[in-house]
Amino acid sequence: MWKKRTIQLGAVVILGIFLLLFRLMQLQLWQAEDFTSRHINLVEDSVRQRSQEVVIDDGRGSILDRNENLITHKKVPVLILFPFLQKINWPHEKVAAILGIDEGELLEAIKRIKEPIMYGGSQPFVLSQWQIEAINSLKVPGVFAVERKIALEKAPARQLVGVLGENEKLAKERYPDKEMLSKTIIGVSGLQKSFDAFLVGEGKTKLVYHVDAIGNPLFGASVKYTNLENSLYPATLKMTLDLKIQQKAEELADAHGIKKGGIVLLDVGTNSLLAMVSRPDPNEKNPFSGSGLSNLMLKEQIVGSVFKTVIAAAAIENGLADSPRLFDCSRKINGQRDLQYNYGLLNFEESFARSCNNAFAEMAKDLQKIDPGLIEEYATRLSLTGRAGWEGNVYHMAGFRQLPEEEPGRVFLTDSERKDPNFAALTGIGQKEVRVTPLAVANMMATIARGGAKEQVRAVSEIEYKNSSTMFSFQQEPLPGRTIAPETAQELQKLLRRVITDSNGTGRWFAGLPYEVAGKSGTAETGRFLEDRQLHNKWFAGYFPFDKPRYALVAVNLDVFEDEGGVNPLFSDMVKFLYSYDQRAE
C-alpha cells in the first residue's frame, strides 16, 4: 500500500517539477517579452528592477519652426547626481565651487535620494558651457553635466503639433515589422501622429547604473552611458510655423477671451501655415479628457456671411453682378421688414460691403435656377469644400496627408436641398447646411489675394535626417480642380476692400490699421441655445497688405451670444503685431 502511495506521490512531484520547468521555459523563451494580456515585457522589467537610470533624451525626433527653433521641448545643460554619492568620497567642494553654491546645499540635495536626480528639480540649475567642461573634467562617478531634453510644460500649437503617449499594443500594430521597446513613445494626434513613422525613436539615451536589492551599486560606482548611434534616424520635422508669431497669436486669443475658437494665419506667397490657435486648450495633466485636444481650426463650422464671398464669385462669373439691379436691403430674406439693418435699396457692391442678407439670398436663388450645383461648384473653386491641407506621395506612402484630422466641408446634404429655393436662400448667407473649416476660409482668402491661384496648405516644409541633410521636401502644390478667373479674383479683391472702406461696411472697424486690410465678416446662427438665447459664430476673414498681400488671416469665436465675443479686436491686434514684427525684421 505504502509503495503505491509513494509511487503516486513521486508522480505528482515529477509532474509538478515538469509543470514548473514548462512554466519557466514559457516565461524565458516564449513569453518573455509579451507576458499576460497586458503584454508585460519581463526582460525589460527585470533589467529595470536591477538598475536605476536617468533618461537624457527620449530618442524621438525633434520638431522645429521655420527658423529652426524647438517647438515641443528644450535642451537644457543640467547636473545629474546619483544616490551612491552618499556612500563614497567625492570632491563635492570642487563641484560646489564650479556651480557657485554652498557645498552644504549640494550635499543636502543628495542626502536622502534613492534615485538619480537633476539638480534643482523641476526648476533645474542651468549650466554654462565652461561649467559643463569643468565638472566633467573632474571625472567624478555619479556626477554628470549633460544636455538633457526636457518637454515644455505648455508647448505652442498643441492641437496642431499633437501629443505623445506610451502604448505598446498600438506601437506594434502600427509597426509590425519593427522591433519596438515596450516604453516606446508614439504620436497619438496631430503632426506627431501623421509623421510618427519619421519621428519614432529607436531607443532612449540614458545614464544607467546597476543596483542590488537595497539600492547599492552591483559593480562599484560605475555608470553606463547608453545611446543607439544612428546618423539618419529619428528624423526632424521643419514646420512652416513661426514660433514668435504663434506665441503672440496664442497670447492674443487668450487676452481677448476666446474660449472656443481660434486663429489661422497663412503666408500668401508660399501658402504655408504661420500660426494656428485652437481653444479650448488641452488639459495639461490629461490631454485626452474633454474636447481640448480637438483642433477646431480643422473642423467644420457654421460660417455665416463669409460664405457670401462664394455667391459673389459665382454672380460675377455668371453675369448677375453686371446689371444695374438694386436689392431691397430693408427686408429680411423672408420678406419681412428688417428693423435692425434698414439699408434701403443697394446695388451689388454696396450689398456686399454692408452684408445685405436679402441680396445674397436672391442671388443664390438665381444661381440655383441656372444650375442647382453652381453654388457648390464655386465653393469648391474657392477651396471651401474638399481639404486644403497638403496631400501627396511621400516615398512609399501614397496619398500622405499632413493634416489627416482636417474635415472636408460641405454646402448641401441632399439633392432635394440643392433644388429647394428656400434652402438656396439660406445657403446664400452661409446658413442651413453650410459647414467649412477656418483653415479652408483662410485658404479662400489667400486664393483671392493671389489672383485665383488655388494651392494646398503646408504645415511642414521638410523632413530632415538626423545629420541635418534633407530627406524630403514638401513643395508648393496646386489644389486640384477648377478655380476662379483672375478677373473674378480682382473683382473680389475690390469687394473685400470695400467692406473696410465703405462708411457702413461691416469691416470699417479696420480702416485705420497700419496694413490695409481686405476681408469679410460673418455672424452665423448656430441653432444652439444657452439660457434661452441663441449662440452665434463670429468670424472675420481677410488678407493684407491689400496692395501686396503677405498674410491671410481668420479669427473666429464660436458659440457666443450675438452681442458678445466679437473677433474684430483680435483680428486688429494680430494685424498690428504683424506690422511691427515685419518692421523689426526689415
Give catalytic residue positions: 305
Q: Please name every residue paired with 239 in a beta bridge, in sequence order, or none if there are none.
A: 460
Nearest in space to 541 (alpha carbons), one of 528, 527, 551, 533: 551
User: 411: exposed, middle or buried (C-beta count within 10 Å: 0-12, 13-18, 19+)?
Assistant: buried
Q: Please tell me whether residue 129 adopts helix, strand or coil conformation.
A: helix
Residue located via cell numbers 476692400: 497
Q: Report the C-alpha gap between 120 and 109 in whole angstroms.
A: 8
Distance CA 115, CA 135 (A): 20
CB 356 within 8 A of CB 341: yes
CA distance 406 to 472: 22
The C-alpha torsion from 489 through 380 and 375 to 496, rounded to 10°, is: -30
**Alpha carbon distance 190, 50 (integer Å):** 37
Distances (CA, A) of 488 to 89, 310, 351: 81, 11, 17
Joined together, the cell numbers standing for residue 329 give 436691403
Radius of gyration of the chain (CA): 31
DSSP 45-95: HHHHHTEEEEEEE--PPPEE-TT--BSSEEEEEEEEE-GGGGGS---HHHH
The total number of residues shown for the chain amounts to 586
The C-alpha cell at 18 is 515538469
Task: Say what angle helices 438-449 and 486-501 make with each other, to 10 degrees.
Answer: 110
3-state secondary structure of 395: coil
Say if residues 401 and 457 touch (Cβ distance below 8 Å). no
**Best CA proximity match to 287, nearest among 122, 155, 123, 150:** 155
Instruction: Give the separation between CA 358 and CA 505, rounded to whole angstroms.
Output: 16
Spatial distance between the Cα atoms of 235 and 149, rounded to a whole number of angstroms: 16
Q: In this structure, are residues 262 and 292 in contact, taking their beta carbons and an 8 Å threshold? A: no
- CA atoms of 450 and 486, how far apart (whole Å): 9
In single-letter form, the type of residue at position 576 comes to: K
The x, y and z cell numbers of residue 473, run together, are: 521636401
d(CA 441, CA 435): 11
On whether the CB atoms of residues 119 and 81 are closer than 8 A, the answer is: yes
